Amino acid sequence: MQRSSTSRRIGSVKASFQREETQISRRLFYSRDEGGSLDPESAIWADSLTRIYRSGGVDVTVFKNLSLRVCSGERLAIIGESGSGKSTLMHLLGGLDKPSGGRIFFGNQDIVGLSDGPLADFRNRQIGFVWQNPSLLAEFSALENVMMPLLVRGVRPGEAASAAGLLLDEVGLKARAGHRAGELSGGEQQRVALARALVARPKVLLADEPTGSLDFRTGETIMNLLTVLHTSHKLTSVFVTHNLSFAFSCDRVLELKKGSLQTPSETELQTAGVLQDATRLDGGTYV
Ligand code: ADP
Ligand code: MG
């Protein structure tokens, strides 16, 4: 396929992104505000969240009145069995889905009440997402993929390209900036996805099983990179992960189980090899 001019390619990147936004808004459920009080210390406060899926005439309640506070600068890990509702929670926190009940505050901004346009703008500016699947545009270069959130925001292409270049450098992929995303390895693609998540300088990073489709060693490298970027970008981060050693290296670990967030079980702690760590346990840093 013949490659088009830069401006046409940028237009195409924007169109792809907007298509994705439309698909996301189609998934929106409905919203309902409930009472509560705001804590200025919390970067994120999910207040009494309920999510019920209606599918084939049957209601599936994933969780009911689930609350979560994430402190500014915290690295929170969420673990839990498959199907326990981790992705549902992350979609709600990220404003990609609406709860059946409850509110979600970022600072003092309730995102549940936002309409589609302001919500998309809020996501673009405030939240970086990383998923198990990097979801890059395969025909576009690594640099163009990273530029995308800035172009959608209306940043000039030259400015977006230099910001994207800096981020690719941070994730160790400067030399591959011009390579098509489809030609990169799984680990490299996830690095590009990380750069794309952070190029708009969000305050919050939400990562849902970011190493779930990578081999162990590559996964470790990505986890280490996430840790470095959390600090250098002064982020508040929520990680869903099955990697217990990574989870227990975070500031706090919560297990989503039977519709509520709980202290990880003794088995989880033993598996992660942290049960003997009496200081941390007594300090109560895991919940
Ligand atoms: P996890 O990420 O922990 O594996 P999910 O949040 O993906 O779990 O799913 C939690 C529960 O919600 C599962 O029982 C799943 O089948 C159900 N679920 C998820 N998405 C939908 C949907 N769009 N419609 C109906 N049920 C859903
Ligand atoms: Mg999931």
Answer yes or no: are the C-beta atoms of 176 and 142 closer than 8 Å. yes
241 lines ligand 1 (CB under 6 A): no
Q: How far is the CA of 182 from the centre of ligand 2 (A)?
A: 24
Q: Determine the residue type at 61.
A: T
Ligand 1 pocket test target in 60, 61, 93 with most atoms within 8 Å of CB: 60
Ligand 1 proximity of 51 Cβ (cutoff 6 Å) = no
φ, ψ of residue 84 to 5 degrees: the values are -80, -15
What structural domains and CATH numbers belong to the chain?
Answer: 34-286 (3.40.50.300)
Amino acid found at 172: G
Helix (H, G, I), strand (E, B), or coil: what is residue 266?
A: helix
Structure confidence by residue, pLDDT tens digits, 219-255: 999 999 999 999 999 999 999 999 998 999 999 999 9
Q: Name the DSSP letter for residue 203.
A: S
Ligand 1 neighbour 88 (Cβ under 6 A) = yes
Q: Is residue 62 lining ligand 1, measured as CB closer than 6 Å?
A: yes
Instruction: Take atom 6 of ligand 1 and give the residue whose Cα is closest.
Output: 85
Q: Check pocket membership of 83 for ligand 1, CB cut-off 6 A.
A: yes
The chain-wide mean pLDDT, for the chain, equals 85
pLDDT in tens, 170-214: 999 999 999 999 999 999 999 999 999 999 999 999 999 999 999
pLDDT, tens digit, for every residue of 128-147? 999 999 999 999 999 999 99
Give the pair of three-digit tokens for residue 282. Answer: 């007594």
To test the pocket of ligand 1, the residue of 55, 59, 61, 62 to mutate (highest count of ligand atoms within 8 Å of its CB) is 62
Tokens standing for residue 38: 């705001």
Q: pTM of the entire structure?
A: 0.84
